[in-house]
Structure formats: structure tokens, C-alpha cells
Amino acid sequence: MMLYIMIAVIVAVIAVAVIFTSKRNKEIDQNGIEADAVVTRINVNESVDEDGSVTTSKTFYVTYQTRDGQSVEAKLGSGKSFDVRIGHAWDDDLYEGCRVRIKYLPEKPKYAVRLS
């Protein structure tokens, strides 16, 4: 019984996160400001599953200047996990120091979405 409750809680948390991210990305898509950015940091997290397989996830951070000249470091998102047009994951070509085009919201500058 406890296992089912834990699974239900995990599913609910994931659902809320997906809805929040989707809403935020839609808002950036509709009202965001474009800017050039540089990937300044990549956090790599590895976890080992019970079967011994390793799962790696990366969090990318970019630095850019807002329209008013403020320098901001922001977490970089994509709005998608796979880009059909280019045939690979949205982050396969990112490395520290590379330049990317982003979109951000002035009132929430600590999160930006990568443009293709």
C-alpha cells in the first residue's frame, strides 16, 4: 500500500513539473526577448540504478545581457527534448564557451529557452 502512495506522489510531482515547465516555455515563446548568450557552466549529474546502469543528466547555464545591460546567468531549457529538424537532442552540440541564441522574460531572467 505504501509503495502505491509513493508512486502516486512521484507521478503527481512529475506532472506538476511538466505543466509548470510547459506553461513557462509557452510564455517565453509568446512574450520573450531574444538575445545572444554563451554557455558558461554545465552541471553533470550521474545516478546509478538498482541494476547498475548509469543515468547522466546535464543542466546548462548561459550568461547573457538583458536589453537594459544587466548581465545574467540563467538556467537553459529547450522546450523540447528532441529536435526533429536536426535529428538529435537539443543539447548535443552544447559545450562551455559556445554561443547560443536564447529567449527570456525580463521579469524572470534566470531561466532562458534555447532557440534553434
pLDDT tens, position by position, 16-63 = 555 656 676 778 778 899 999 999 999 988 888 888 888 888 889 999
pTM of the model: 0.70
**8 Å CB contact between 73 and 59:** no
Mean pLDDT for all residues in the chain: 81
Angle at 49 between CA 44 and CA 50, to 5 degrees: 160
Distance CA 91, CA 1 (A): 39
Distance CA 30, CA 116 (A): 16
How much of the chain, in percent, has pLDDT values that exceed 90?
A: 40
Distance CA 56, CA 87 (A): 20
Q: What pLDDT was estimated at residue 105?
A: 92
